[in-house]
Amino acid sequence: MTRHARAVDSSTVRTLCLPSGNEFPRDPFGRPRVLAPPAAGLVYGVAFNFLAERGSAPHRAPSLYLKPFNTHVGHGAFVTLPDHANEITVGATLGLVIGTAAHRLDPAHALDALAGVMLVLDLALPIDDPHRPPIGATCFDGACPMGPWIVELRDLPALDRIEIRTVINRTVRAVTTFDRLVRPIPQLLADVTAHMTLHPGDVLLAGLPIDLPRAHGDDIVAAEADGLGRVEVRLAEGIPP
């Protein structure tokens, strides 16, 4: 079955035809072929969007953080750990890619604003206080691998049925689903766009559980999901601690 995927930037949406399943490009030697990130806009993370993380009602507005452009890399990239760091957390999540200017969306129609979704690895240094993450912990170079492509919603099951596997060195270390969010995805889009406009190519992350697996230099980390493919990067050590 042919799936429909898109490369999105701020001015154009281009439809691509890609293989079905979890296939992804490799070179003749079997190594991951390096791909550019398929979305070229801003990437916003959402904190505390899993029910297990909260014992009270959600805040009036979502808690957002930015993954700036220096963090954006695609499938097959090498990511160097920050100097003096010996491990990072690996959060595999769903990237909601905006396809049309989105402002004050109605939850009933919010998904219509999406060009599609893709896999995202939200990498960070371990954080003692997740309410006040230091910028260096979440925004080091390469801390937001994404891809390998954007898949349209018509080729996927309901978003709350998607299961994303976090794989470290070929071992599945976590499975993330999106059926118990504080703000389900349509409501999340509505609540974010009530306060700010999202533009074509921007990406809103659906959220992460607070308990994440950890990886080290020389590890190969990946996010994979049926129908979405696999985005994989190799970690390299920085200056030793």
How far is residue 94's CA from residue 135's CA, in Å, rounded to a whole number?
Answer: 22
- Per residue in 85-141, pLDDT (tens digit) is 889 999 999 999 999 999 999 999 999 999 999 999 999 999 877 677 778 889 999
Residues 69, 203: contact at Cβ < 8 Å?
A: no
Q: How confident is the model at residue 32 (pLDDT cuts 50, 70, 90)?
A: low
Mind listing the pLDDT tens digit for each residue in 200-222?
999 999 999 989 999 999 999 99
Rounded to 5°, angle at Cα 165 from 114 and 50: 65
> pTM for the full model?
0.86
Tokens of 230: 């696999």
Write down the CATH superfamily of domain 3-19+28-236.
Fumarylacetoacetase-like, C-terminal domain (3.90.850.10)
Distance CA 234, CA 168 (A): 10
Q: Number of helices (H) and strands (E), helices first, in the chain?
A: 2, 15
pLDDT at 34 over 80: no
